[in-house]
């Protein structure tokens, strides 16, 4: 991790605090966009497999800073693919995003159906990263698997995401911003289910060169998310409405047929279970 300032670096360091004490775990501060550093790292550490979760995330921030997203999400991915080409690995999990489906994709989103046009630079860079990864699989036999998580939530959620912001605002009694009428739907997927999918993809057979959804397949309206947070927190939200944003997809909805078939993936945590758990974690973590 390069612990950049996309959000508070102190929070990032807190998130990895203690990981370096675990057996077999080493926390390395570096930038994966630095190709020479990645070559040295792969050679020095004898890397066996890659779970590439590094990226500049955030749909809305990408509209204001597209060049930053291009550098990190496309050039950074290319640096890792080059390292994996020169220092072969058994599996390269390229963690993509549901945003690659874009506007115009058929609902629910199927991996092998024609995609739409990405609604944001973030979605465009994630699709470009996927295409680069699949090209390296085809051309250089790098065993790339593209995984597409859908609206991940749960403990240690990024502070810039809607659920985190809503929770903070409701607890503090401050107005929260709602863009549009709240009918936008997201396929919220608990982080533990995503981890199960990643773990399965590391060892599954016949998945190299594939793109696979990791979602929950039960989209929830944003206004329902607010209502469930109100219930879990025990406080009403103060909602300030704004016009809808062009970069927001109206719905994300994962078809899980391929994930079930190839990874035996089956999400276990319902949204009704995950929301109270998240609120409990938030209160404990932030001492509020």
Q: What is the mean pLDDT of residues 65-76?
A: 98
How confident is the model at residue 137, as a pLDDT?
Answer: 99
The pLDDT value given to residue 69: 98
pLDDT value of residue 268: 98
Give me the domains of the chain, ranges plus CATH numbers: 31-286 (3.40.50.720)
pLDDT digits (tens, 9 = 90+) for 21-32: 889 899 999 999
For residue 108, is the peptide bond before it cis, meaning its omega torsion is within 30 degrees of 0?
yes
Instruction: List Cβ neighbours of 219 (8 Å cut-off, separation of 6 or more).
Output: 185, 186, 187, 251, 252, 253
pLDDT more than 90, % of the chain: 95
**Is 179 annotated in the active site?**
no
pLDDT of residue 18: 80
Q: pLDDT confidence of 17, banded at 50, 70, 90?
A: confident
Answer left, alpha or beta for residue 204, where phi above 0 means left and psi between -120 and 50 means alpha. beta
Please compute the mean of the pLDDT values over residues 121-126 and round it to a whole number.
Answer: 98
Give residue 24's pLDDT. 87
Q: Supply the pLDDT for residue 2.
A: 93
- Enter the pTM of the model: 0.96
CA distance 223 to 185: 9
- Give the active site residue among 56, 69, 101, 122: 122
Please give the Cα distance from 207 to 224 (Å, whole number). Answer: 36
């Amino acid at each position: 991790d390069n612990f950049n300032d996309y959000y508070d670096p102190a929070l990032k360091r807190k998130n990895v605090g203690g990981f370096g004490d675990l057996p077999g775990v080493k926390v390395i501060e570096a930038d994966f966009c630095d190709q020479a550093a990645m070559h040295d790292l792969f050679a020095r550490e004898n890397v066996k497999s890659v779970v590439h979760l590094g990226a500049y995330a955030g749909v809305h921030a990408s509209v204001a800073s597209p060049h930053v997203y291009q550098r990190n999400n496309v050039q950074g991915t290319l640096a890792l693919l080059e390292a994996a080409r020169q220092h072969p690995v058994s599996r390269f999990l390229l963690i993509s995003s549901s945003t690659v489906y874009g506007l115009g994709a058929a609902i629910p989103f199927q991996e092998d159906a024609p995609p739409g046009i990405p609604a944001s630079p973030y979605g465009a860079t994630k699709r470009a990263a996927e295409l680069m990864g699949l090209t390296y699989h085809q051309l250089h036999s790098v065993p790339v698997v593209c995984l597409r998580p859908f609206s991940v939530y749960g403990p240690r959620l990024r502070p810039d995401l809607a659920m985190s912001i809503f929770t903070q605002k409701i607890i503090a009694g401050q107005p929260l911003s709602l863009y549009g009428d709240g009918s936008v739907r997201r396929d919220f997927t608990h982080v533990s289910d995503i981890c199960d999918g990643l773990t399965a993809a590391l060892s599954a057979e016949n998945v190299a060169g594939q793109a696979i959804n990791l979602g929950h397949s039960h989209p929830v309206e944003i206004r329902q998310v607010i209502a469930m947070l109100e219930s879990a927190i025990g406080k009403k939200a103060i909602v300030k409405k704004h016009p809808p944003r062009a970069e927001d997809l109206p719905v994300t909805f994962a078809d899980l047929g391929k994930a079930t078939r190839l990874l035996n993936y089956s999400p276990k945590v319902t949204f009704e279970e995950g929301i109270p758990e998240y609120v409990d974690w938030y209160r404990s973590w932030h001492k509020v």
